[in-house]
């Protein structure tokens, strides 16, 4: 089988100089790969000039809906990917993390893109900044998609997850992507891209694929492009220092292999649950993906007094690990991804063995054509004097256990890794956990704190989640990806807008205080979703607050706070006299603006950003300004549901002095006329 690239809307076969790819389990040839003759410059130009404008013409929510549909399509076809995954040396569990974990990332970003980003083409970010005394000159940050292409160069260990976790935020942001997988697992990446292309769900060209060498790819990147890389720190530095990347200030994000650690708290003893959880996770991290994980535990830091117990417990678990054919359901550790990695792991392992003692090394013998290796647990008695254990990483099932005499020493040892993707701490001592985070947080991208209360539902030390940031400082690359909505920002430009609130309201399709308001004889609650306009405002009739109102509300709510009910205490308070309940003011305001008759408004959907600005006293007269702030199209959950959308209303409650006494946003579910 000769792998193909997907470029400029078609599958392209490389020419000449094919590289052979082998099954690491049995040494059999599985594919040939070459990108020679591929028009890489043309791929970039096609993405920028033809695909990008089409993607940016869609709203964030429209792209989110496409991503959700794609995720459903790929999940329906998931069984097709497992046989190829086994040919990368991955077990069924390893493959599940890669394949279904990657597809789940699409679901997560599809959901977050529709729930946390406005339903528009420009993302209004944060609150308006008032830049002038009268409020006619204001500031507002907005985000717009970059007008280039995102190039993702991925590692060999997670050919599906690594591709999809980068593509998801790229697509939501509105950028086309070019994926360059590692040759050694490219046949699985190619299969996934085939399924994506065949679905015809995404706009053509949203995703292109380079199977083979990237050749002059970096020479053609511009300041509007983004380059991401996952792999070794050495390769990452070469990419980052490429003259064109520097000259054009191309955005670059690197996630590199790091020497991660797991720390057993000094409060934990061998009979405790935390001890068992710790040992189990260390062994799992050594053998999952045969240790080929950028997040794998490389340094196991334990109290000196129980170092022998920890070492023996890990050895016992490792001895029970079944190594073999990944397609076998009983197999718990597969092979490395390629035979060449066996040589690299053994080379680094020999360097480590010069300074460290071997505590455990499997004795199984494997076919010389395969890429299987035995797990190795090393023992480092002097972590402060043995620099190599903090510098050299054998990217396979290799780990080093080391002692500490005080928790302060454990913290120092953790920092000797010079920056990592993740550290984990097993403890019941919350003060120790707080100290660990404060002292080592600057050295780790993620810290996993585990004890008996969280262990059963924990996703594990080495599992990045789409909701949380993935990356780390120092030797981990200094980059960051995922992190929910944060991951999308890398593919967008933040623009600081300055001008009149009306101008910025029109640009961002979100009402800003001080912008022009429009009025209509028809009550806004009598209008369908499509009929409402941003800035449309209802000014209500007035209501005078009476003592009976306050007494009755206290009786209904049970709120007899002295400032509402006690004349003497209220007089001595900051209010100087009795005030109405804040929540009565909200209820009274609702009574002023709500239309009582049945209509397009289906339900109250929530209330946000409530602030009580000034007290409302007995005898004050209030009225309400209700302004259409933002509209969000909402998908139907069931075919029989009425089509609808969410409307956000900016509410100001004003007293007889024209002072604003309360501001907030309410959300209503409003029926749409059309199901489109």
Residue 380 annotated in active site: no
Q: For position 676, what pLDDT does the model report?
A: 59
**3-class state of residue 148 by DSSP:** coil
Say how far apart CA 397 and CA 634 lie, in whole Å.
48
Q: What is this structure's pTM?
A: 0.89
Angle at 520 between CA 516 and CA 521, to 5 degrees: 155
The kind and range of the H/E element at 357 are strand 357-361
Q: How far apart are CA 286 and CA 436, in angstroms?
A: 24
Calculate the CA 235 to chain-centre distance.
24
Measured distance CA(320)–CA(280) in Å, rounded: 12
170 and 221 part of one domain? yes
Between vectors from CA 474 to CA 304 and to CA 411, what angle results, nearest 5°? 20
Distance CA 367, CA 126 (A): 59
pLDDT of residue 675: 66
In order of 193, 208, 510, the CA distances from 39 in angstroms are 19, 12, 43
Rounded to whole angstroms, how far apart are CA atoms 163 and 207? 10
3-state SS class at 657: coil
**Same-domain check for residues 283 and 164:** no
Which CATH number covers residue 566?
Answer: 3.10.129.10
pLDDT averaged per 10 residues, the chain (length 676): 92 87 87 89 95 95 94 95 92 91 94 89 91 92 96 91 94 96 92 95 95 91 94 86 92 90 95 95 93 93 96 94 89 90 92 93 88 94 94 93 96 94 95 95 94 90 88 89 90 95 92 92 92 94 95 94 92 92 94 92 90 94 95 78 89 95 94 78
Lookup result for tokens 């000159």: 137
Could you give the CA distance from residue 660 to residue 609 in angstroms, rounded to a whole number? 15
Q: Quick check: is 478 in a domain?
A: no
In the chain, what is the greatest distance between 2 CA atoms, to the nearest angstrom? 94
Same domain, 398 and 324: yes
Is residue 579 in a domain? yes
Q: Is residue 499 part of a domain?
A: no
Q: How far apart are CA 418 and CA 476, in angstroms?
A: 8
- CATH number where 60 lies: 3.40.605.10
In the chain, the number of structural domains is 3
From the candidates 165, 190, 213, 255, give the one annotated as an active-site residue: 255
Catalytic residue among 211, 261, 294, 628: 294
CATH of the domain at 397: 3.40.309.10
Query: Which domain range does residue 129 map to?
Result: 4-256+486-493
Whether residue 356 is contained in a domain is answered as yes
Cβ-contact 467, 108 below 8 angstroms: yes
Same domain, yes or no: 56 and 173: yes
628 among known catalytic residues: no
Do 246 and 288 sit in the same domain of this protein? no
Same-domain pairing of 248 and 265: no
């Amino acid at each position: 089988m000769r792998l193909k690239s997907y470029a400029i809307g078609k599958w392209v076969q490389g020419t000449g100089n094919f590289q052979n790819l082998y099954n690491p389990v049995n040494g059999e040839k599985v594919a040939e790969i070459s990108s020679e003759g591929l028009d890489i410059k043309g791929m970039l130009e096609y993405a920028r000039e033809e695909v990008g404008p089409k993607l940016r013409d869609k709203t964030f929510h429209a792209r989110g809906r496409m991503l959700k549909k794609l995720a459903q399509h790929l999940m329906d076809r998931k069984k097709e990917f497992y046989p190829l995954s086994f040919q990368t040396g991955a077990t069924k569990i390893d493959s599940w993390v890669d394949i279904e974990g990657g597809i789940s990332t699409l679901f997560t970003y599809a959901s977050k893109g529709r729930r946390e980003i406005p339903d528009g083409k420009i993302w209004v970010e944060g609150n308006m900044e008032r830049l002038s005394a009268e409020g006619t000159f204001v500031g507002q940050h907005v985000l717009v998609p970059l007008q280039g292409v995102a190039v993702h160069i991925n590692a060999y260990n997670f050919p599906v997850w690594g591709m999809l976790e980068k593509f998801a935020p790229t697509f939501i942001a509105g950028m086309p992507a070019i994926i360059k997988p590692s040759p050694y697992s490219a046949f699985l990446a190619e299969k996934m891209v085939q399924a994506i292309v065949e679905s015809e769900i995404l706009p053509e060209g949203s995703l292109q694929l380079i199977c083979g060498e990237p050749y002059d790819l970096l020479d053609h990147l511009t300041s509007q492009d983004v380059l991401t890389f996952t792999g070794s720190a050495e390769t990452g530095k070469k990419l980052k220092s490429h003259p064109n990347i520097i000259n054009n200030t191309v955005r670059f994000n690197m996630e590199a292999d790091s020497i991660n650690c797991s720390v057993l708290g000094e409060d934990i003893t061998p009979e405790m649950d935390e001890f068992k959880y710790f040992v189990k996770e260390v062994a799992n991290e050594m053998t999952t993906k045969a240790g080929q994980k950028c997040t794998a535990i490389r340094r196991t830091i334990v109290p000196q007094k129980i170092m022998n117990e920890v070492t023996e417990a890990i050895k016992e678990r490792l001895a029970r690990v079944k190594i073999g054919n990944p397609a076998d359901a009983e197999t718990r550790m597969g092979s490395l991804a390629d035979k060449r990695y066996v040589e690299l792991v053994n080379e680094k392992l020999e360097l480590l063995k010069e300074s460290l003692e071997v505590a455990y090394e499997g004795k199984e013998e494997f076919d010389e054509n395969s890429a299987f290796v035995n797990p190795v647990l090393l023992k480092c008695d002097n972590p402060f004097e043995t620099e190599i254990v903090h510098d050299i990483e054998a990217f396979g099932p290799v780990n080093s256990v080391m002692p500490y005499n005080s928790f302060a020493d454990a913290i120092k040892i953790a920092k000797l890794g010079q920056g990592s993707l993740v550290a984990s701490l097993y403890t019941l001592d919350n003060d120790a956990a707080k100290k660990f985070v404060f002292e080592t947080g600057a050295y780790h991208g993620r810290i996993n704190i585990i004890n008996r209360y969280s262990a059963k539902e924990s996703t594990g030390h080495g599992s990045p989640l789409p909701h949380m940031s993935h990356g780390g400082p120092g030797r981990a690359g200094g980059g960051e990806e995922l992190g929910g909505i944060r991951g999308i920002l890398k593919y967008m430009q933040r623009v600081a807008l300055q001008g009149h609130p009306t101008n910025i309201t029109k640009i961002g399709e979100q009402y800003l205080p001080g912008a022009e308001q429009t009025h209509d004889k028809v009550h806004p609650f009598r209008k369908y979703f499509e009929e409402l306009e941003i800035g449309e405002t209802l000014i209500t009739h007035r209501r005078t607050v009476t003592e009976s109102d306050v007494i009755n509300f206290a009786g209904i709510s049970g709120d007899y706070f002295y400032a509402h009910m006690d004349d003497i205490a209220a007089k001595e308070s900051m209010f100087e006299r009795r005030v109405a309940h804040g929540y009565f003011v909200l209820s009274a305001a609702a009574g002023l603006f709500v239309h009582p008759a049945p209509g397009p408004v289906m339900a109250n959907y929530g209330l946000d950003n409530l602030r009580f600005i000034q007290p409302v006293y007995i005898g004050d007269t209030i009225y309400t300004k209700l302004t259409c702030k933002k509209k969000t199209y909402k998908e139907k959950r069931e075919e029989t549901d009425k089509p609808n959308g969410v409307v956000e209303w900016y509410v100001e409650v004003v007293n007889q002095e024209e002072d604003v006494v309360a501001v907030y946003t309410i959300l209503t579910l409003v029926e749409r006329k059309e199901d489109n």
